[in-house]
Each structure stands twice: as C-alpha cells, then as structure tokens.
Structure 1
Amino acid sequence: MEAATPVDLPPVAPAQASGGVRGWSRGWLLGAILVVAAACVLPFVVSNYRVFQLTMVLIYAIALLGLNILTGYNGQVSLGHGAFYAIGAYVTAILMDKFGVPYWMCIPAAGAVCLLAGFLFGLPALRLEGVYLALATFALGVALPQLLKYKHLEEWTGGVQGIILMKPEPPIASILGLKLNADRWLFLFTLAITVVMFVIAWNLLRGRVGRALIAIRDHPIAAATMGVDTAMYKSLAFGVSAMFTGVAGALGAVVVAFVAPDSFTIFLSITLVVGMVVGGLASITGAFWGALFIQFVPNLADQVSKAAPWALYGAAMIVFMYVMPTGISGALRLAWLRLQRRTGRGSPAA
C-alpha cells in the first residue's frame, strides 16, 4: 500500500511544528470555531432523527481519526478496528448496566481499556507488516463478535441479546432559552468530546510523536538509523488508535442505548476502512468527510433503490475513488491550491 502524505495540514515553519494549537493560523482557528458554533445550532433546527444521524457522524469521525493515526500516519493497515469499537461500547455498557457508573465517566474508562488492549495487540503485531498485519487484524475483527456470544460471558455481555441501556437525560432543561431533550443533549455532549479528541490528535500529530510516526511510515530503516524506537512507536500508534476508536464505541453505546455482538461484525471494520479512504488518508479533516459518507450514502442508496442499495453504494465508492483518488480532503486541498495559484496568492498561511 503506497504511503499517503498529509493533505490538509497547513504548512508551518519547522520551529512551529510542535506548537500544537498555538501553531494554528488565525484563519484556521477562526474557521474551526465557526464550524463548532454552527454545529451547536444544528440540533435545534433539525428533527430528532437528523440529530441522531449527525451524532453518529461525530462518533464515526472519532473512530476514523483513530484508524487514520494507525494507517494513514503510521502505515499499519488494520481491517479489524471494529473490534476496538466493540470493546469501548461493551466496557461502557457493562459499567453503566452492572455497576451504575455515570455515562460520562465511562467514556475515559473505555478509552483507557482500549489504549491498553491496542498497545498489547500491537506488540506481537510488530512481527507483521502489510497484508499479514491486515490479515491478523481481520481475524481480530471476525473473532471478537463471536467471543461476545460465548455462553460463559453472557452474564456480562448479555450474549446474543446484548445489553439495553437507558438514554441519559440532559442535566438542564434548556440552554439560552432553547429546550434540550436527550437527543440534543447527547449531540452537544458528543460534539464536546469530538473537539477534545481532535485537538489531542492535532497536537499529537504535529509534535515529535507525529513526526516519528510519519518517518516510520515513509522510511522505516532511516528512522531506526536516526534513533527512532520503531517498535515502541508502532505499539503506541496501535494503542492510541484503539483508544480513539474505543471512545467512539463508548459514545455509540450511550447514543444508541443498546449493544449486541451482531452490531460489531467485520462489516463495521470494513466500513471504517471505507470511510478513512474516502475521507482521505493521513488527513485530520478527512475523518469528517469519511464519516458523512458512511453515515449518509448508504441511506441515500437505500432510498434510491430498495432492490439493490449496496450496488449503488459500491458504485458511489468507485466513483469517489476514480474522481478523488486522494480522498475528499485531498481533492479539496488540491482545489484550494489551484485557486490560490490562479489568484496569485500562494498557499494559506500557517
């Protein structure tokens, strides 16, 4: 698999590369603030069903960002990240259902468990690369749903029937005069978690760790020669990637208020890969575009044709890959650069 290059990070001077949020240009920071502000308004102007769909977009965006850290930025191909999504969801469901832990406390707990699980899985995976690593992660994605059905674990996992949760109510009845219900509150809660996770990813990928991950992806031998601990960083990439996906799974459990093994089949893992590629490899903002694709395109395909919705979905993927081989974010970045050349302004300042 050919390594992708970051397509949406604004250029910065070397001295600013580790500056994190402080390294953002005013334009990028203002744009991000405006997008978040607009998102805060959305749940009050659309139906509850649309609010649920938009909440799932945010959840998928976190999961895709986690997968992109591993595959896009570090070059390790995973076809089993749905397993970490399931672990995060089940950790949250068990804590809420069996121990009465508040939902907001379950999110970091699920992230911590998945961080450890991903790191430990990454250790033996160090011996594998390319299609062999992809096959190992594929096996993980296939095996975990079956393990969740294991009869000796039914007391905790609920077996085939899964676990039904209570959707949390908002802590306040209204905000700025606008009435809150459970769906609107969960959207705002998920949005806040999404902002936190994306800021963490931005700082991580713009700093020393991010540069090490990219160096290992592009030139592993040279990176090792320069003193980069490739084994440690590869395992760390697995752990951090799993943590992001686990947080997404935890949020998914809270929002859907139900978990079951059949919700986390290998199809979920493949869907995440599709979202990552369509959104753009090695792209932070690409996670949002990919999340929009995997959330809305299947629904649109089903509305257009009840007979063959997946044929339309597959055709849409082929068209996207043919028209935008670097993903949606890559195509937008290229269009922006071409526009800047035509106007003679150059690329946007960092």
Structure 2
Amino acid sequence: MATPNEPTSEPSAKARLAGLLLLLVIACVLPFLVSNYRVFQFTLALVYAIALLGLNMLTGYNGQISLGHGAFYAIGAYVAAILMDKFGVPYWLTVPVAGAVCLLAGFLFGLPALRLEGLYLALATFALGVAMPQILKYKHLEHWTGGAQGIVIVKPEAPEWTGLTQDQWLYFVVLAFLLVLFVIGWNLLRGRMGRAMVAIRDQPIAAQAMGVNTAMVKSLTFGVSAMYTGIAGALGAIVIQFVAPDSFNIFLSITFVVGIVIGGLASMQGAIFGAVFIQFIPNVADQISKAAPWAIYGVFLIVFMYVMPGGVAGLIRILFGRFQRRRR
C-alpha cells in the first residue's frame, strides 16, 4: 500500500474520468473528419471493443480462458440477421434479443464447463469455435441460416432529422451501445459480483471458504461475457450487412484473445486499444508487404509484447507512475 508521501502508479479517479471524456470527445468528432470507408472501419473497431469487454470479464477478471468466443459472436450475428431477414424485426430491436440468446447460451455452456479449468477449458471452448461454422452449414438449418451462402441484410437508413450518412449513423448507434455496456460492466465489476470474480481468479479456495458460490459466479460470468460478444456480433452483422459461416472461423476467436492481451488484461479501457489493434494493424501489415502480410503482423505482435508486456493499458499505468514521480 502506498503511504501518503509515496506516489501510486495507478491513475486517480479524476485522471481516469478525464481520459475517458477525452476519448469520448474524439470518438464523437471522428466520423466528421474522415471518409465513409474510415467511418466503417472505426465502427467495426467499436464493435470489436464490445466483444473484447465481454471476453476480458471472463479471462482478465475471472481467470477463465476461452478460445471459442467467435461462436457467440456468430450466434449474435445470425440471430440479428434471421430476425431482420425472415421476420422484418427493426435492426435496433435485434441487438438486445441477440444478447439475451447469447446470455442463455453462454450460461448453459458454462455449467458443464465448470468441471474444466485452465487449458482444459480453453480446449473445450476451442472445440466450440471450430464446430460453429459447420453447424451453421448444416443442411437442416439452411432455411434459416442460408447455408454456405449466408444472409444478406439491408443497410439501415439514418433518420432524416440527423442529417447523417448511413455509415455515420451506424457509427453512433454502435458507440451508444458501447457506452451503455461500458457503464454496465464498470458497475458490475466494482460491485459484489466483480469482487467475487476477482477473488475466484486469484484465490479460488479462499473465495469458496468465504461463502462465494464459485459455480454460479463462473456460470454467470460466462453468460454475461457471451452476452457482450453476442451483442457485438449482432451489431457487426448490421454494419457489414452480411453473415456467412466462413466469416466466423476459429481465427476470429484467436483474434479476440489477441485483442484483450494487446489492450491489457483486467482493464476495461484496454478493450478499446485492443479493438483498434485487431482492426487496423492487419491493414497496415498488408500495406507494408503484399507478399507476406501475416509475417509482418506477427512481427507487430512480438514487438508489442516485448515493449508492452502488460498491454497498452499497462504501459499507460507505467508512464503515469513515472510522470507522478517526476512531478514529486
């Protein structure tokens, strides 16, 4: 514990709030300064940030490793696409429905998975991520999923009173969902549920001895994490206007893991930095080398992990601590 004369490396509540407000101002101004294609890219980055928020709750705060969250992203995307294509449900209403479906799916998957820990749980979720594209192609589900051809979605129009383009409107819709889910997650992690999640991660035996229902907390955490990812999947489907089984392969799940590690484990703000990384760094690598873009991407990963072993959020904490020491 830091003494009154010893600076702490953790940013104060005011510093965190100021940083978040600055990010929010930049996010609100950004779509008016770049092209529609860049707005589309930043919208996808916000979508990935929602998915990373959910996965970070599970892995960073609760200590459960998942290599199959791309499956819940796919479920959310297909729920939204089917509701819009088959039943004419408004796009904004499909998002909470997709979240509810994934909450239930994640909770039910988490119940039997409670018997597994560490790499065994990771392998079970990996199997889920591998199987999902094949399930979506199953011939008896083709009427709903469209089989290998997928489903095309009509792009929502922006309300006339906004004066925004379609891409700008979807950007602000996704940003609004991100802010709401960020606040919900912030309050959840700061409350009793969040303390129980961290206690199970750090000292599971002690947490159980203190009366924490570890089985229920783990299942609920898995469900909430899947809900966040499902909401991201629904928003991603609306933004891209298309879903197909091959879009949700196991590489998507691995990409989410890369995002939470780059952004910073057990850091909600880190989800934003991780989302920017997984959205834009592959494009940068492709521009550097058309022949071997993934080799360049691998180099970026190695450099980031060497320079920032605690992720971007960890680097910010270190720099803030050094700044405080110099001021004193």
TM-score (norm 2): 0.95
Encode CA deviations 1:40-70: one digit per residue, 9 max, x unaligned. 1211110000000000110000001100000
Aligned partner of 2:90 among 102, 105, 123: 102
1:168 match: 156
* Residues 8, 285 of structure 1: 8 Å contact kept: no
1:154 match: 142
**Structure 1 SS opposite 2:116:** coil
Task: Using the TM superposition, give the Cα deviation of residue 34 of structure 1 relative to its aligned residue in structure 2, in angstroms.
Answer: 3.5
Mapped partners of 2:41, 2:9: distance in 1:
25
Q: Which amino acid aligns with 1:50?
A: R
* Residues 99, 227 of structure 2: 8 Å contact kept: yes
Higher helix share: 2
Mapping for residues 1-350 of structure 1, pairs under 5 Å: 25-174=13-162, 179-344=163-328
* Residues 173, 181 of structure 1: 8 Å contact kept: no
Q: Which amino acid aligns with 2:241?
A: A
Task: Using the TM superposition, give the Cα deviation of residue 323 of structure 1 relative to its aligned residue in structure 2, in angstroms.
Answer: 1.1
Mapped partners of 2:204, 2:306: distance in 1:
30
Gap runs ≥5 in structure 1: 1-6, 12-24, 345-350
Mapped partners of 2:184, 2:147: distance in 1:
35
| 1:116–1:337 CA distance, 2 compared to 1 (3 A) | same
Task: Using the TM superposition, give the Cα deviation of residue 162 of structure 1 relative to its aligned residue in structure 2, in angstroms.
Answer: 0.2
Following TM superposition, the consecutive aligned residue runs of length 4 or more in structure 1 with deviations greater than 6 angstroms are: none
| 1:10–1:339 CA distance, 2 compared to 1 (3 A) | closer
* Residues 9, 318 of structure 2: 8 Å contact kept: no
Mapped partners of 1:71, 1:26: distance in 2:
27
- The alignment of Structure 1 onto Structure 2 pairs a total of residues equal to 321
Q: Which amino acid aligns with 1:49?
A: Y
| 1:219–1:58 CA distance, 2 compared to 1 (3 A) | same
Mapped partners of 1:291, 1:123: distance in 2:
29
1:21 match: none
**Structure 2 SS opposite 1:180:** coil
Gap runs ≥5 in structure 2: 1-7
Mapped partners of 2:313, 2:24: distance in 1:
18
Mapped partners of 2:218, 2:95: distance in 1:
24
Task: Using the TM superposition, give the Cα deviation of residue 288 of structure 1 relative to its aligned residue in structure 2, in angstroms.
Answer: 0.6
**Structure 2 SS opposite 1:72:** helix
Encode CA deviations 1:266-315: one digit per residue, 9 max, x unaligned. 00000000011111111101101100110010000000000000000011
Task: Using the TM superposition, give the Cα deviation of residue 29 of structure 1 relative to its aligned residue in structure 2, in angstroms.
Answer: 3.1
Mapped partners of 2:259, 2:269: distance in 1:
12
Encode CA deviations 1:310-336: one digit per residue, 9 max, x unaligned. 000011101111111111110111110
Q: Which amino acid aligns with 2:128?
A: L
Task: Using the TM superposition, give the Cα deviation of residue 120 of structure 1 relative to its aligned residue in structure 2, in angstroms.
Answer: 0.3
* Residues 8, 283 of structure 1: 8 Å contact kept: no
* Residues 11, 317 of structure 2: 8 Å contact kept: no
* Residues 11, 320 of structure 2: 8 Å contact kept: no
- Which stretch of structure 1 is more off in the superposition, 186-195 or 165-174? 165-174
Aligned-residue CA RMSD (Å): 1.4
Q: Which amino acid aligns with 2:260?
A: M
**Structure 1 SS opposite 2:160:** coil
Task: Using the TM superposition, give the Cα deviation of residue 26 of structure 1 relative to its aligned residue in structure 2, in angstroms.
Answer: 4.3
Mapped partners of 2:15, 2:261: distance in 1:
27
* Residues 118, 238 of structure 1: 8 Å contact kept: yes
**Structure 2 SS opposite 1:79:** coil
Task: Using the TM superposition, give the Cα deviation of residue 33 of structure 1 relative to its aligned residue in structure 2, in angstroms.
Answer: 3.0
1:22 match: none
Mapped partners of 1:228, 1:81: distance in 2:
26
**Structure 1 SS opposite 2:211:** coil
| 1:9–1:235 CA distance, 2 compared to 1 (3 A) | farther
